[in-house]
Each structure stands twice: as C-alpha cells, then as structure tokens.
Amino acid sequence: MSPEFRVTRITYKELDIFPVLVDYDMENKKCRGMSARIDLFSYGALSAEIEKFHGDRLDFAIEEGMMIRKKGLIFSNGFFLFDFSYFMDNPDKFAEKINSLNMPTVYIENSDRFDLAPLLKSGINCHIELLEF
C-alpha cells in the first residue's frame, strides 16, 4: 500500500495534532527547518535538551529518534525528533518507525533540505500530512 500525503500549513493555534515528526540534525546538534522555529519560540530549550546527549545516547537518538514532551515546546502532546538525513539512507527503518505508531495519520515536517517523496513511499501504511508553519 502506498501512502497518500499532502502539504498542510498550520498556524500556532493548531498545535494539538499528534504524532508530529520533526527533522533535527542530531549528529551536528543543529536545528533544521521546523525544529529551528520550535527552538526559537522556546528560547533555545530544544537545543539545550539535545546538547545533553553524547556517545551511545546520541547514537540511539540518531538511529531511533526521540520523543519530546517538555511543556512549552509548542506541540501540546509533544513531538518526535528524527534526523531525516539518517533515514534518507535507511527508508525501511523510517517506514517501520511510522508504522509502529499505529496511527491513521502521521504529521511529518515538509523538509526544504530533503526530498521526502521516495522516503514516504517506502512501505508506510498510513495517511501522511506534510506540515509547514
């Protein structure tokens, strides 16, 4: 089954959606795209959390992603950080992560840096909404 996906623009009043997958450069510990906006509006709290990760913890975050539920970081139910560059080389693993959420719709940052179309066609079994602020 091939997923359906479309680009959806959201405002800061529409932050109760879940699950949301946001891109973050874990290896270099730098925000990209939507994560930069989240960090800006949370006064650097997102970067401060990621700076705590080193060694095995950082490797785990790169390969598995991480759930952010800290209050005040925009999305009311939290969101997932994934390093899209890692998953561009591992599309089956990305599909596995998305499918394991077992949700009818998954919201994924519409990346300016990566062509997500091939990634999103790699065995994902749900509806995809690509998000932009």
Tens digits of residue pLDDT in 88-116: 988 899 999 999 999 999 999 999 899 88
At residue 2, the pLDDT reads 45
Q: Please say if the pLDDT value at position 129 is more than 50.
A: yes
CA separation for the pair 60, 79 (Å, rounded): 17
Full 3-state SS string of the chain = CCCCEEEEECCCCCCCCCCEEEEEECCCCEECCHHHHHHHHCCCHHHHHHCCCCHHHHHHHHHHCEEECCCCCCCCCCEEEECHHHHHCCHHHHHHHHHHCCCCEEEEECCCCCCHHHHHCCCCCCEEEEEEC
Q: Please say if the pLDDT value at position 3 is more than 80.
A: no
Boundaries of every domain in the chain: 6-131
The pTM (predicted TM-score) of the whole model is 0.88
More confident residue, 19 or 76: 19
Average pLDDT value for residue range 65-77: 83
At residue 4, the pLDDT reads 55
Pick the CATH number of 6-131 from 3.40.220.10, 3.40.50.300, 3.50.50.60, 2.60.40.420: 3.40.220.10
Tens digits of residue pLDDT in 7-42: 888 877 778 899 999 999 999 999 999 999 888 888
Average pLDDT value for residue range 56-73: 88
